[in-house]
Amino acid sequence: MELEDVVKMLEEGKVKMHELEGLLKDPNAATRARRLFLERRLGIKLNAIGSTVIDFNQVYGRNTENTIGAVQVPLGVAGPLLVKGVYANGLYYVPLATTEGALVASVNRGAKVITENGGARSIVVKDGMARAPLFRLPTATDAVDFINWINTNIDKIREVAESSSRHLRLKEIQPFINGNNAWLRLVFSTGDAMGMNMVTIASERVAQWIEGNYPKAKLITVSGNMCVDKKPNAVNFLLGRGKTVISEATVSRRYLMERFNITPEEVVNVNVRKNLLGSAYAHSYGFNAHFANIVAAMFIATGQDVAQVVESSMGITWAEVDDNGDLYVSVTLPSLEVGTVGGGTGLPTQREALQMLGVQGGGDPPGSNALKLAEIIAAAVLAGELNLLIAQHRRELGKAHERLGRAGRT
């Protein structure tokens, strides 16, 4: 069938946009046909959207439906950034996809400061992706009995869950009760995958087994919002989700004075009053300056699920003067949800960005690439955070954005 004929069928309402792959047996042709249809319907050209290296055979049934092309985001690089982690060890060039002028420069300057002062020490302190099915019980007493029954059947539940994947392991079940509602926050390790598909599939199997063996419990939903996915929340902040990761560095007093004319005390002062007091006053989940900037830019670059920036960018920046009078600074990200296989990580530009960091695909042993990526992201967040504290004390923010980040000016 010719492209023109298909577009005509779309125009006449004889076929739906999402039926074109079935009709044409070619996702690239289906993408072109939908684009042509929209160009005519809207009276505009979509040449830029149509210009992409993506092969939609790789996308169809995996990443996106009703494809019409792709959106491109400029990619900058910061670094080299010295990371001394458990998995990441060496100098890294950090890919940042953003349209915010001055952001890459900011991380770049922070990377330089950290690297010239011995590097960022990163460590993942907890690792587990959570899904929390919600069950309705007749009464609160029944809900308590239900949790007790779950605890005595954990081995069987583990067996059911782990039968769904070679890489998934059930680590623990965190129960919550409210009235006659019971949540089972199932926490899994998911190898190098971020894990949301894996844990959802496993949780559905577990829920089905539970309903079959404990008739009083009725599943309301496989995702009862105590997971917590794509919403700002206290649960992930305290219990962790994905990777809980810390990155820290020491910057000498002498370096700060000579390079920036700023003391460690002045950096600490901005951090305490802005990131801690200001955030407490605002009741913010981000006791930091701009974790979201770096997390979002690296998520876009490396094919992560961008909606998870919501909880992945929660966290705290800590700074103090150490025993030698130098600056100690750290960032703690309790819920960094990242993977190097699955999701958007296999797309061509995202694969290359992961290759830049030496983490594309499955790690050896499985899980090690995702842990390494988490350590590098945390170190880049540290670079951005340290630099912005320095910049704000030095009153550079407006100036920098005037120079590097304004539209419509020549």
Ligand X SMILES: CC(C)(COP(=O)([O-])OP(=O)([O-])OC[C@H]1O[C@@H](n2cnc3c(N)ncnc32)[C@H](O)[C@@H]1OP(=O)([O-])[O-])[C@@H](O)C(=O)NCCC(=O)NCCSC(=O)C[C@@](C)(O)CC(=O)[O-]
Ligand Y SMILES: NC(=O)C1=CN([C@@H]2O[C@H](COP(=O)(O)OP(=O)(O)OC[C@H]3O[C@@H](n4cnc5c(N)ncnc54)[C@H](OP(=O)(O)O)[C@@H]3O)[C@@H](O)[C@H]2O)C=CC1
Binding segment for ligand Y (CB under 6 A), chosen from 20-28, 190-198, 208-216, 259-267, is: 190-198
- The residue whose two tokens read 């952001």 is 103
Partner in contact with 396, chosen from ligand X, ligand Y, none, beta carbon below 5 to 8 Å by kind: ligand X
Instruction: Looking at residues 323 to 342 of the shown chain, list those that interact with ligand Y (rule: CB under 6 A).
Output: 339, 341-342
Closest by Cα among 384, 274, 273, 382 to 333: 382
Give the number of residues written for the chain.
410
Beta strand 120-131 with 181-189 is: antiparallel
What is the spatial distance between Cα 245 and Cα 91, in angstroms, rounded to a whole number?
A: 19
For ligand Y, what does the binding mask look like between residues 140 and 179, x meaning CB under 6 A? -------------------------xxxx-----------
User: Whose Cβ is closer to ligand Y: residue 200's or residue 244's?
Assistant: 200
Instruction: Looking at residues 101 to 130 of the shown chain, list those that interact with ligand X (rule: CB under 6 A).
Output: 102-106, 108-109, 112
7 binds ligand X (CB under 6 A): no
Strand intervals (E) in 305-346: 315-321, 327-336
As given in the structure block, the two tokens for residue 30 are: 């289906």
Q: 91 forms bridges with which residues in the sheet?
A: 82
Partner in contact with 191, chosen from ligand Y, ligand X, none, beta carbon below 5 to 8 Å by kind: ligand Y
Which among 19, 39, 100, 326 is annotated as catalytic? Answer: 100
What is the smallest separation between the CB atom of 100 and ligand Y, expressed in angstroms? 23
- The residue whose two tokens read 């794509």 is 230
Give the three-class secondary structure for 176. strand
Q: Are 227 and 187 in contact, with CB atoms under 8 Å apart? A: no
Interface with ligand Y (CB under 6 A), residue from 198, 262, 292, 389: 198
305 is catalytic: yes
Residue 88 Cα to chain centre, angstroms: 18
242 binds ligand Y (CB under 6 A): no
User: Whose Cβ is closer to ligand Y: residue 55's or residue 402's?
Assistant: 55
Q: For the residues of 87-149, what is the DSSP string, one character each?
A: S-EEEEEEEEE---TTHHHHHHHHHHHHHHTT-EEEEEEEEEEEE--EEE-SSHHHHHHHHHH
197 binds ligand Y (CB under 6 A): yes
For ligand X, what does the binding mask look like between residues 63 and 102, x meaning CB under 6 A? -------------------------------------x-x
375 is catalytic: no
Q: For the residues of 198-246, what is the DSSP string, one character each?
A: HHHHHHHHHHHHHHHH-TT-EEEES--SSS--SS--HHHHHH--EEEEE
362 binds ligand Y (CB under 6 A): yes
Q: Are 98 and 76 in contact, with CB atoms under 8 Å apart? A: yes
229 is catalytic: no
User: Whose Cβ is closer to ligand X: residue 105's or residue 201's?
Assistant: 105
What is the spatial distance between Cα 161 and Cα 324, in angstroms, rounded to a whole number?
A: 51
**Measured CA angle at 276 (ends 272, 282), to 5 deg:** 135
Interface with ligand X (CB under 6 A), residue from 293, 335, 340, 345: 293
Which among 84, 145, 230, 352 is annotated as catalytic? Answer: 230
Total number of residues binding ligand X (CB under 6 A)? Answer: 19
Which among 305, 311, 375, 396 is annotated as catalytic? Answer: 305
Binding segment for ligand X (CB under 6 A), chosen from 67-75, 130-138, 294-302, 397-405, is: 397-405
Q: Are 70 and 54 in contact, with CB atoms under 8 Å apart? A: yes
Instruction: Looking at residues 366 to 395 of the shown chain, list those that interact with ligand X (rule: CB under 6 A).
Output: 387-388, 391
The answer, yes or no, to whether the previous bond of 228 is cis (omega within 30 of 0) is yes
401 is catalytic: yes
194 binds ligand Y (CB under 6 A): yes
Binding site for ligand Y (CB under 6 A): 165-168, 190-198, 200, 229, 305, 339, 341-343, 362, 366
Binding site for ligand X (CB under 6 A): 100, 102-106, 108-109, 112, 289-290, 293, 387-388, 391, 396-397, 400, 404
